[in-house]
Chain A
């Protein structure tokens, strides 16, 4: 990859204010950025900007303003454009390594969106698995990311995305609903379908600047059968979601891969592509979503298993994580959990979905055993 140019910032012309004076107070902080950022690093990075003018202060603002989540170690920084990951690599490489299980700056990430490579996944027990879902994000090369984009760029992303989505056909054929032009009836339908996203309220997101100009340039596209959904200009340029009731993860993943591949082809026809490189995979706003950006998950009824003393250990070994059914930062309702892959980077899409399929199958087996009052000791998996 050719070296990415970076430029001196339009420095504030107040010569007596030094990088020591500018260094943030991170003494109360507990996030990945605060763990890594030193005075020396800040001094070095402060004089740089990406070709689009994004600076270190833009990268770390959200981490300064949000000292720490009580239960989750947040990342504490964002990218303003594709070049951020190069220009500020001294900061981002260690954060990526810490966040993504030891992923090194020299490692290569494998992309595999061939759904045929998934083994099984069409037979998760629907008595336990209520719904299946795969999501990821995509960024359009040549446009700044949500923390830094201008209104013109955001509208450009919307226009190009809608043009691409409008040309999908067959069971992917659908319609776009711009947030600012939505009728009350459309809005209510989208709420009832659980598709509507609202202006973010989390200070983690707001502090990065990605909610500016809301709801300009934002919208929701979904296919007629409501199984393929795209969010435009929320936390990323695009969030792509494939979902359906029941346990047929294979079908969900098929549609996911087909849809993504078709969309990518359409963008290539327009002379651009998704942000991607062989080290970081797909490039997204938050470093936690690099690589595949993929979260494949199910809503699964495991009231017995979830109360078992070894539940956390099992999840850890399977490389899975649990969430409440409202998504990140929610609690489980009545023993029904959202179970998904914990990893994003360093494994391919197929590998991650395989882990979810295999792992959920095992959890359901364990649940059935516990229902019968049997032990699950002989089912304990090895660390993946």
Chain B
């Protein structure tokens, strides 16, 4: 017992010294690149890494596929300057062995620096999840010039609604798995402050989850805007639901076509949507709104987390790059029953979901169709992919209606 105690004492001393050294790297965070980030203080360690290594034999997620004992041993004593550790990053993947149909990511970032300090694990996870994108050698293109989008108006006999969503993180504040209450409240303050500066068709109102009236709550439910405390263990195990509903809220514009979630799974989730098939207008508003919000936070000295290696930084590695999901609710009664449907979607780099979102089933023959990719292509490229792909699907549906045959398109080339 005395020996353990003495070891804890000395490691704690090291911690205090190292955390002073680590201080400088946070202020240098604005100029973040790999060489400038120092791993933070040594975490408390009483057992060797081999005794702490998780039992992943029954696991099927990206983290489990890439976390070797060697990588674990290398990273386990490191922390980010904010004190976030590898064990925290992988906790969700340890606690959730695997989804039967979807290979989940199995880890999260607690802050921007996680992607640097734990790169030995995150880079291969990112590469697997993002279809071969290698963060060590590639760069990610950001393009929010919506004027480049062509043919973005769908046939409304088939497309019922159009939507584009992404996320944004405020640089300098920890992400939802790791943030303190004060940081989370600061995120809320910074974003709500900026949103209050939006004008014209973007002008809107913020509804804090803590202070919502019953009436406001019912309206938000009726509009399908209200988000609730997450129940999925994939999310809760990462710690992002702590202190619910403190500093969480929903902002939307008066016309209900531009919506922002604050402090749910990310600092912000930004959603542009409308009924019908005018994806062009949805994307225009998306880009204008995002750029306006960015301008407003920059006026106050803040910025979004972004770098050219990984694009926009979000909590889940699956949302890096653009963090963008552009999709439609589309009626495809004949095509959806065709055995070639899955292959067609695959080659178009599209995915189908039920109209309740991820992990739901389709109702009737109305599907949620959206882009598969997030990282390695720009926003304009991805939305164009959805536009071209959905137009192709509608074309197939029309052909099948007329009794004509359809073709599987060639696999998508970037």
Q: Are B1 and A21 in contact (CB under 8 A)?
A: no
A308 at the A/B interface (Cβ < 8 Å)? no
A51: chain B residues within 8 A (beta carbon): 5, 8-9, 12
For window 63-88 of A, CB contacts with B under 8 Å fall at 64-65
Asked if A206 contacts B236 (CB within 8 A), the reply is yes
For A153, give its contact among B46, B53, B242 (CB under 8 Å).
B46
Which residues on B sit within 8 Å (CB–CB) of A53? 12, 44
Q: Do B5 and A25 touch across chains, with their CB atoms under 8 A apart?
A: no
Size bracket, chain A contacts: 35 or more
CA distance A65 to B40 in the complex (A): 29
C-alpha gap A318/B173 in the complex (Å): 54
Q: B47 at the A/B interface (Cβ < 8 Å)?
A: yes
Contact B8 A21 (CB under 8 A): no
Nearest chain B CB to A153 CB, angstrom units: 7
A24 pairs with B243, CB closer than 8 A: yes
B194: Cβ under 8 A from any A Cβ: no
Residue from the list A5, A10, A61 in contact with B15, Cβ < 8 A: A10
Interface segment, one of B80-88, B253-261, B263-271, B370-378:
B80-88
**B222 surroundings in chain A (CB, below 8 A):** none
Mark out the residues of chain B between 1 and 48 whose CB falls within 8 Å of any chain A CB in the assembled complex: 1, 4-5, 8-9, 12, 15-16, 19, 22-23, 26, 40-41, 44, 46-48
B82 pairs with A13, CB closer than 8 A: yes
**Interface residue A150 (Cβ < 8 Å from any Cβ of B):** yes
Using an 8 Å CB-CB cutoff, how does the interface string of A5-18 with B read, 1 for contact, 0 for none? 10110111110011
Partner of B16, one of A7, A65, A152: A7
Could you tell me how many residues of chain B have their Cβ less than 8 Å away from some Cβ of chain A? 48
Residues of B within 8 A of A57 (CB): 180
Do the beta carbons of B246 and A61 come within 8 Å of each other? no
Binds B, one of A100-108, A211-219, A330-338: A211-219
In contact, A10 and B83 (Cβ under 8 angstroms): yes
Give min CB distance, A224 to chain B, whole Å: 29
Q: Are A5 and B9 in contact (CB under 8 A)?
A: yes
Task: Select A52's contact among B8, B51, B52, B241, beta carbons within 8 Å.
Answer: B8
CA separation between A57 and B54, bound complex, in Å? 25
Kindly list chain B residues whose C-beta atoms are within 8 Å of the C-beta of A207. Answer: 242
In the assembled complex, the CB of A195 is this many whole angstroms from the nearest CB of chain B, namely: 23
Docked-complex contact A150 and B180, CB < 8 angstroms: no
A142-B4, A272-B1 are contacts. A17–B180 as well, Cβ < 8 Å? Answer: yes
Interface centre among B51, B79, B172, B182 (most CB of A within 10 A): B182
Q: Is the CB of B182 within 8 A of A17?
A: yes
- Complex contact A64–B243 (CB within 8 A): yes
A5 contacts across to B, CB distance below 8 A: 9
Whether A212 contacts B46 in the complex (CB less than 8 A), given A13-B81, A17-B182, A150-B52, comes out as no
Is A25 a contact of B210 with CB atoms below 8 Å?
Answer: yes
Which residues of chain B from 231 to 255 have a CB within 8 Å of any chain A CB? 236-237, 241-244, 246
Q: How far is the CA of A24 from the CA of B183 in the complex (A)?
A: 12
Chain A residue nearest to B79 in the complex (CB) = A10
Restricting to B258-307, which residues have a CB under 8 Å from any CB of A? Answer: none
Known contacts A13-B26, A213-B54: A25-B83 contact under CB 8 Å: no
State the Cβ distance, A266 to closest chain B Cβ, in Å: 17
A97 in the interface (beta carbon within 8 A) = no
- Contact A21/B47 with A61-B242, A272-B1 known, Cβ cut-off 8 Å: no
Question: A22 on the interface (CB 8 Å rule)?
Answer: yes
List B residues at the A interface (Cβ < 8 Å): 1, 4-5, 8-9, 12, 15-16, 19, 22-23, 26, 40-41, 44, 46-48, 51-55, 79, 81-83, 87, 91, 94-95, 172-174, 180-183, 185-186, 210, 236-237, 241-244, 246
Q: Told that A13-B82, A21-B185 touch, could you supply 15 new A-B pairs with CB distance under 8 A?
A: A8-B16, A12-B183, A13-B23, A13-B26, A21-B182, A51-B5, A51-B8, A61-B242, A142-B4, A151-B52, A151-B54, A206-B236, A212-B237, A214-B95, A216-B94
A-B contact pairs, 7 of them (CB 8 A): A10-B19, A12-B83, A14-B182, A22-B182, A151-B52, A151-B87, A271-B1
The residues of A with any CB-CB pair to B shorter than 8 Å are 5, 7-8, 10-14, 17-18, 21-25, 51-53, 57, 61, 64-65, 141-142, 150-153, 155-156, 180, 206-207, 211-214, 216, 271-272
